[in-house]
Structure 1
């Protein structure tokens, strides 16, 4: 089988929901059908978290930084594929994986320190490192907790 056929097969077998798109993208559209990959949202992102993803489509990379919800990506998009910014930016939330240092008995609260809405708290336990908890209602999915995590234990994904 040729390399072209293999890469084409991988493109079409990709899970559609594994990439986080820029904030406020309409859920009612097929993003890859509407987005022209003009890169305007990428160039205006003040924290540079919008990157070219698979197929050249914009994706969010919270390992770089957080979303400040500045709305520059919305205003730069000529295709108008964004919702009104009064709606939630994403249908995603932060989750903490088992690789969290606190679960290994190591005292770390870097995610809590980075979380402006205070959605991450730690429960104290005698003789143990405090364990993290995320208040899903308070989480804005800004991704501020992702980059500072030394064990890459925090993911932002669909809820």
Structure 2
């Protein structure tokens, strides 16, 4: 469920302007800069994705929704795009998974769904006394595929963009 965020500054509140959304994850091999510069918003990548995780965002550009499924890195989106948006010479994703405070294991409930779903074994579980094992993410092993996001029953796993992390640090 996506909520609309209102800028509560006086002028923007009275005019109904919304806060700008943080940059959403883009399809594999596409960076925000290349999407902004070259994407025409034709949407050819949307039906090409066999996983059904690509949709056009509020700006008419492709963005990923990992709540449905994960990326299989098939490249169908890149092949369907008529513009120079995709560069398969670069790593597929810049983002990595982040496990939030709503994680069942962190709340004392036994769950290992994210680790079971991770094809790269980037999420492992560390034993602790007096509670269930806790997830630990090896960011160097995370491919950004989103399998853990789709599998998490608590919706505690998200993806984080490195540029956003640096801006909030």
TM > 0.5: yes
Q: How does 1:8-157 map to 2 (within 5 A)?
A: 9-10=17-18, 14-15=20-21, 17-26=22-31, 28-29=33-34, 31-83=35-87, 85-157=88-160
Distance 1:57 1:152, change over 3 A: same
Q: Could you list the runs of 5+ residues in structure 2 that have no partner in the other structure? A: 1-14, 163-169
CA RMSD of aligned residues (A): 1.6
Taking structure 1 as the reference length, the TM-score comes to 0.86
Distance 1:155 1:124, change over 3 A: same
* Superposed CA offset, 1:60-113 (max 9, x none): 000010000001111111111111x24211110000000000111001000001
Q: For 1:20 and 1:154, how far apart are their aligned partners in 2?
A: 14
Taking structure 2 as the reference length, the TM-score comes to 0.81
Q: Could you list the runs of 5+ residues in structure 1 that have no partner in the other structure? A: 1-5
Distance 1:42 1:147, change over 3 A: same
Q: For 1:158 and 1:33, how far apart are their aligned partners in 2?
A: 19
Aligned residues: 148
Q: For 2:89 and 2:62, how far apart are their aligned partners in 1?
A: 22
* Superposed CA offset, 1:23-67 (max 9, x none): 1114553x2342111111101001000012112221100001000
Secondary structure in 2 aligned to 1:132? Answer: strand
